Chain A
Amino acid sequence: DAGVIQSPRHEVTEMGQEVTLRCKPISGHNSLFWYRQTMMRGLELLIYFNNNVPIDDSGMPEDRFSAKMPNASFSTLKIQPSEPRDSAVYFCASSFGLAGNNEQFFGPGTRLTVL
């Protein structure tokens, strides 16, 4: 199994540009999570999906952030327009189901730098 796949691994962009981060969950997993990691705030859950449906987006910081999951094998996180304070590592994770004791499998992350 290839694990959770994220692309790109690194992204450098200028303020005001649109950024799209991509995630392919582990085959068979039906829950997908987007996290953001910064030095100041640690790991924050942005949004999560179950069976391709967004369940809780209360962690999305602003309307500039949006996420979609058009099918079971693909999700995107979009920032438009991007700002320097969006610079962070963005992780995607997947699991089978939403039970509280389920392990989440993390991708390698996308390091975003907004200049």
Chain B
Amino acid sequence: AQSVTQLDSHVSVSEGTPVLLRCNYSSSYSPSLFWYVQHPNKGLQLLLKYTSAATLVKGINGFEAEFKKSETSFHLTKPSAHMSDAAEYFCVVSDEAGNTGKLIFGQGTTLQVKP
């Protein structure tokens, strides 16, 4: 069965420094992968998604992620953190059965951005 593992439950960076949030997935087929962000007391918002096109995916707010099949990874990066990036980030994989719409969420990574 497919799954996602977010390797860090908490990441702290200084404003203006790079962000790296790590995600590994497990799937026996070519999955669709997503990163969602959740700001405090808000719903989840899609940052970006990978759907078997370009392996480097660009999203909103300067974030991007690279799909690496050999490493089964889909890490999220941003060159320069902003205070407004402080939030919870979820790596998500689509259900293996396909066309069910079901998403499988990682446990989340809390990003703290220090001034």
The answer to whether A and B assemble together is yes
**For the complex, what is the distance from the CA of A4 to the CA of B43, rounded to whole Å?**
10
Contact at A102–B43, with CB atoms within 8 Å? no
A34 within 8 A of B: no
Option from B36, B44, B45, B101 in Cβ contact (under 8 Å) with A100: B101
Interface string of B14-57 (1 = CB under 8 A from A): 00000000000000000110101000011111100101000000
0/1 string, A79-115, CB within 8 A of B gives 1: 0000000000001010101111111111111000000
Q: Assess whether B90 is in contact with A43, with CB atoms less than 8 Å apart.
A: yes
In the assembled complex, A42 has its CB within 8 A of some CB on chain B? yes
Q: Which of A43, A97, A103, A108 contacts B49 (CB 8 A)?
A: A103
In the assembled complex, A56 has its CB within 8 A of some CB on chain B: yes
Interface status of B84 (Cβ within 8 A of chain A): no
Give chain A residues whose Cβ lies under 8 Å from the Cβ of B102. Answer: 45, 48, 56
In the complex, what distance in Å separates the CA atom of A94 from the CA atom of B103?
12
Contacts of B70 in A (CB 8 A): none
Alpha-carbon separation in the docked complex, A45 to B106 (Å) = 13
Within 8 Å by CB of B95, from A93, A97, A100, A105, lies A100
A56 adjacent to B46 (CB under 8 Å): no
Interface string of B77-110 (1 = CB under 8 A from A): 0000000000000100011001111110111100
A101 touching B44 by the CB < 8 A rule? no
Known A-B contacts A33-B101, A42-B108, A98-B100; A106 and B45 likewise in contact (beta carbons under 8 Å): yes
Q: Which of B43, B98, B100 contacts A108 (CB 8 A)?
A: B43
